[in-house]
Structure 1
Amino acid sequence: MNHFKILILGFLISLSFTGCKEEYTILPSEDPILLSTNNVSSLIDNSIVFTATKGGEEITALTTIYVNGEAIQGDTFTSNETGEYTAYATYDNLKSNEVVFNYHDGSEINFKKRVLIEDYTGTWCGYCTRVAKAIEQVFTSTDNAVAVAIHRDSSNPNSATYDPFNYDASVLENLLNTPGYPKGFLNRTILWKNPETEYVNQVLDLTQGENPKLGLAITNSLANNQLNIEVNVKKAKNFGDLKLVVYVLENGLIYEQKNYTNYYNGLNPVPDFEHNHVLRSCLTDLLGDNIPKEEFINDVYTVNYEIAVPGNVENSQNIEVVAFVIDENGKAINVRKANLGEDQDFEQI
């Protein structure tokens, strides 16, 4: 009986292997046409560019590209209507894969909102500790603020207003037309009310409300005293004239600070005061470099800087990079800070 069961089991196993066999013929392969696009989502009125390849070679010029079933001229498509689109290419009776992309009006894309604080200060300025303390209070309340300390007034060691970190920002100050120190400006054009420590909410309010339709991302690296910086600007709507400002700052600078306030234990001067976010170099014009509208590719503008570490930098490991975009009225739309070696993505929300 056991012998019979073994025979039956062997027969069933044989059938199972036979049933799994499939007769087929190997056919010569045909390299497919692969269609790709430079962007799967774009702001209306901007161009989508297609690329077709076959067997690793570009054949775009030899293909006919269809968008929503209609042939287009060349490899570029533009629409002023929002919605989803489907594209494919044909070549020599072959059809490519389908590519789906969309056009939007920017209403669904926003970026994290940050506020710029430009602090006009000086180691010789006894009341400038008031703004320094206010900035500390801001940082305690939010991480959406970016500070820049623009030291003034003289680079002459024999001057009563000597500051070893002095940076000539007179062209900017003349535009703001607010004499005296200290003074803080928010998003470049808004005067921070005095005393700043009692108006921290003025800064915090600028981090609230409607999110901007423009964001920044910074990548930077340091090698052999060479600083490489890439700044990317992304827009989610069409703007007027825009300008970009890029700063190189330094943290951890130790120098005594005059102090006519009760802050910092009322010491005057404050010995070994740590000066942070100190402006060391401006890689653009202080009033900003124009961003050509035609250089926004897929809503993104990219600019690279390759420079030697500024000679006034004491410790290159304490470098940070700040970039912001200003509108035609000189107001900062958004700002971003990057620590040394940081590689950022857009803060899209």
Structure 2
Amino acid sequence: MKKVGYFKTWMLYNKQVFTNKSSPMKKHLILILSSLFLLSINLVSCSKSESNDSRPIVDNGSISITANKTSILADGKDEITFTVKDNNSKDITTESKIYVNGEAISGNTYTSKTKGEFTVKAVNLNRETSIKILVRHYTAKLYISSNRTSSFSSGSEQFEFKALDTKLNNVTSDTKFYVDDQLIDGHTFSSSTNGKHKVRAEYSEIKSADLLVGVNMSPRNVLVEDYTATWCGYCPESMYHLEELKSKTSANMVISAIHGSDEFQYSKIESLFSTFNITGYPTKIANRNIAQAINENDLISLVDESCHIGIKSTIQLDGNNAKIDVTLESYQTFTDIKLVVALCDNNQLADQSNYYNDEASSAFYKAGEKMKDFQHNYILRKTLTDLYGDAIPNDKLIQGTSYKLSFTTDVSKYNKAHLSAIAFLFKNGEVINVLSVDNL
């Protein structure tokens, strides 16, 4: 019965009571009981009204969405992770739906091969919010190297090739190698045919630049020292173009990144600044010849030169020590040669200033004025010889002979899994050959 029905019944009953001839006391008692009855009806009706209300209770508070990074590379592998929280900071990611440029994604992670600015929207019940992320320019690169620049013509000495992807991950086992345009089995090669041999590689549809090696002679590798710093906003663009040359023009380039006034500072950088009259960052020097320009044509012309002294090198880890062996192979007699052996570090993450954030033509467009966790490679850590070279005895560089040297150094402070060693030969104020081997 509805509340109004109870009320009508009560009114009719009281009318009858008060029109009948009843004693005053009886009328008073009936009035009290009727009032209590009406009160109980009201309580019951209120209770029923509350229990019959099935409308959902909606939290109208705001929600937020954040990402673990502001940008990713357009390589289809670099992943960004989103988190959704309510206004009480409770994680509601699994209860929310996430859209990227209007398309729902599965879960809360995202990758892309298309560069540009994307809108990421989170929806939870009737609440939504959005942020912007950037998918940055990405050029797939393949770097190849060899454990030696040359070999004698006996055919008993092997070249061992290695392939690294854009992020310097070792992809040798999945890479095809070609020598003089002929596919070889695996990644080793030997020959008794004198002269230069052209090596190239293919990995996941990515092609490397050519690497020249020699039998009974040595092609000339080129050392490029890049003076850089994490606070230098021009520096990442400079290194990007160096890596473009190395991956597309000639694999015979060896890069050394010499940092100043940052967390990767090389301890003897002031001496290099003074010797080579360096006044700012970035500065690039080829073969320690301050007048040498760095461009595609100059690089090709330098590599095309023949060198009559070759280098073979290995790097091995033993606990906190690294052992670096360097073998010099003379194809003619040399005098007054100096050897520099240095240790470099790779895959180090640190924030990097970026002055190209607003330049659409840059590889670092919209990557942020301060790029977080930027990957730094080729970092010069220490030299195991004199900075300007240890003299090699002239009687060790006779035509047709080889001379081996070994160096051991403590590497406990460094990223041991990503070390590389550089060995280069110095004569008359210029680098005449260089080789880099790594532990990647």
TM-score by length of 2: 0.47
Partner residue in 1 for 2:338? 243
1:256 aligned counterpart, secondary structure: strand
Q: Distance in 2 between matches of 1:130 and 1:227?
A: 32
Amino acid at match of 1:109: N
Equivalent of 2:284 in 184, 203, 221: 184
Give the number of the structure with larger relative contact order, counting CA–CA contacts within 8 Å between residues 6 or more apart: 1
Distance 1:254 1:40, change over 3 A: closer
Please say which structure displays the higher CA radius of gyration.
2
Equivalent of 2:264 in 162, 165, 181: 165
Equivalent of 2:257 in 149, 153, 164: 149
Q: Distance in 1 between matches of 2:430 and 2:381?
A: 22
1:146 aligned counterpart, secondary structure: strand
2:353 aligned counterpart, secondary structure: coil
Matches within 5 A, 1:201-280: 201-208=297-304, 210-261=305-356, 262=359, 263=362, 264-266=364-366, 267-280=368-381
Deviations 1:57-103 (A, max 9, x none): xxxxxxxxxxxxxxxxxxxxxxxxxxxxxxxxxxxxxxxxxxxxxxx
Amino acid at match of 2:342: Y
1:139–1:145 CA contact under 8 A, matched in 2: yes
Partner residue in 2 for 1:307? 409
Instruction: For structure 1, list consecutive stretches of 5 or more residues without a partner in the other structure.
Output: 1-38, 42-107, 155-162, 342-349
1:215–1:235 CA contact under 8 A, matched in 2: yes
Deviations 1:251-302 (A, max 9, x none): 1000111111343125312221100010111101111111111234753222
2:335 aligned counterpart, secondary structure: coil
Equivalent of 1:292 in 393, 405, 413: 393
Amino acid at match of 2:317: L
Are residue 336 (structure 1) and residue 435 (structure 2) matched?
yes
Q: What's the CA shift for 1:40?
A: 11
Q: Distance in 2 between matches of 1:339 and 1:278?
A: 13
Q: What's the CA shift for 1:189?
A: 1.1
1:281–1:310 CA contact under 8 A, matched in 2: no
Matches within 5 A, 1:102-141: 109-141=216-248
2:153–2:216 CA contact under 8 A, matched in 1: no
1:247–1:283 CA contact under 8 A, matched in 2: yes
Percent of aligned pairs with the same residue?
Answer: 34
2:333–2:397 CA contact under 8 A, matched in 1: no
Instruction: For structure 2, list consecutive stretches of 5 or more residues without a partner in the other structure.
Output: 1-151, 155-214
Q: What's the CA shift for 1:180?
A: 1.3
Q: Distance in 1 between matches of 2:329 and 2:337?
A: 12
Q: How large is the Cα RMSD of the aligned pairs?
A: 2.2
Deviations 1:188-218 (A, max 9, x none): 114454xx6xx3333233212x311111000
Partner residue in 1 for 2:210? none
Q: Distance in 2 between matches of 1:295 and 1:213?
A: 14
1:280–1:310 CA contact under 8 A, matched in 2: no
Q: What's the CA shift for 1:330?
A: 1.9
TM-score by length of 1: 0.59
Distance 1:307 1:213, change over 3 A: same
Amino acid at match of 1:339: D
2:417–2:439 CA contact under 8 A, matched in 1: yes
Amino acid at match of 2:341: V
1:172–1:287 CA contact under 8 A, matched in 2: no
Deviates more, 1:295-304 or 1:219-228: 295-304
2:352 aligned counterpart, secondary structure: coil
Distance 1:299 1:169, change over 3 A: farther
Q: What's the CA shift for 1:178?
A: 2.8
2:228–2:235 CA contact under 8 A, matched in 1: yes
Partner residue in 2 for 1:85? none
1:205 aligned counterpart, secondary structure: helix
Q: What's the CA shift for 1:236?
A: 1.4
Number of residue-to-residue matches in the alignment: 220
Amino acid at match of 1:225: N
1:272 aligned counterpart, secondary structure: strand
2:337–2:425 CA contact under 8 A, matched in 1: yes
Q: What's the CA shift for 1:115?
A: 0.8
Deviations 1:217-249 (A, max 9, x none): 002211222211111111212233111011111
Q: Distance in 1 between matches of 2:395 and 2:269?
A: 30
